[in-house]
A = this chain, B = another copy of it.
Amino acid sequence: MSNRGCLFIVGLGPGAAATMTPQAREAIERTSVVIGYEGYFAWIADLIAGKECITLPLTQEVERARMAVRRATQGDSVSLISSGDAGIYGMASLVLEMLESDGATDGLEVTVIPGLSAVNARASLRGAPRAHDFAVISRSDLLTPGELSERRLLAAAGADFVVALLNPKSGRRAWQFPRARDLLLHHLPPETPAGLVRNAYRPGQSVEVTTLVQMADSPVDMLTTVIVGNSRTRLLGHRLVTPRGYRLDAEDPRP
């Protein structure tokens, strides 16, 4: 028997209340402690009255995860909140690893609540660039060795995946985005459509459509998602569309 609490790892979605699932709201409502980066609490202001809210800065992921595990292990009901989908570059894997290394998994109920990922949200704003196979690559070399990230860019373009590029550059890594463009140009034509979205579904949202060869001329930052089409992606109006392969002129919808 155990008097341990429970821990929800909650993906809030991209930020607007309109994109948060009822499941995520309910998880937060059910817990007495909410832990997260302080910027996220504004998104759930209507849910946190009377709850203990613990904020830690954006860089302190390990500390946030550790605090959530500790409080849950002590018997509290805890929500650890994450933007987007908690499983995509989010807090879920960090917590699960930590539980293992602490030998603390017994008796602690841990639930991962999926959210609308930033990639999905941003892609929708640009049309339907990912109606076909796609690859998601984060260029943050804090967590992925640069060499591996570059190998993935080449492999993805070589196999004609649509590519979503997260964290395309930060102040310290201004060379990374032109470098990604050059790697993709090994396999893709210069005029391949590319889309840049910043702050999807948040204040200050911007959407820009450009081409692979020109995309590095546009301003990007850590909050920008870049989607680069594959050989079949076309620009229709201001939207990127990757055909699914249906024949639109035929009676039989299958190619």
A residues adjacent to B (C-beta < 8 A): 11, 13, 16-23, 26, 59-63, 85-90, 92-94, 96-101, 105, 112-117, 120-121, 123-125, 127-138, 142-144, 148-149, 151-152, 154-156, 158-161, 236-237, 239, 241-249, 253-255
Contact = CB atoms under 8 A, between A and B. Distances in A.
A248 B62 contact: yes
Contacts of A135: 133-136, 156, 161
**Oligomer: number of copies:** 2
Given A23-B18, A159-B156, A236-B100, A62 B134 contact: no
Nearest to A26: B18
A243 B98 contact: no
Which 5 A-B pairs give the minimum distances between C-beta atoms?
A92-B128, A93-B131, A155-B159, A93-B128, A62-B253
Contacts of A60: 253
A250 B155 CA distance: 33
A246 B94 contact: yes
Contacts of A124: 11, 85-87, 92, 112-114
18 contacts: A19-B114, A61-B246, A63-B253, A89-B244, A90-B128, A92-B127, A96-B127, A96-B236, A100-B236, A105-B236, A112-B125, A130-B136, A132-B143, A133-B138, A135-B156, A143-B246, A144-B245, A148-B159
Contacts of A96: 127-128, 236, 239, 241
Nearest to A113: B124
A131 B154 CA distance: 20
Given A94-B244, A97-B236, A128-B87, A133 B117 contact: no
Nearest to A62: B253
A255 B113 CA distance: 27
A130 B254 contact: no
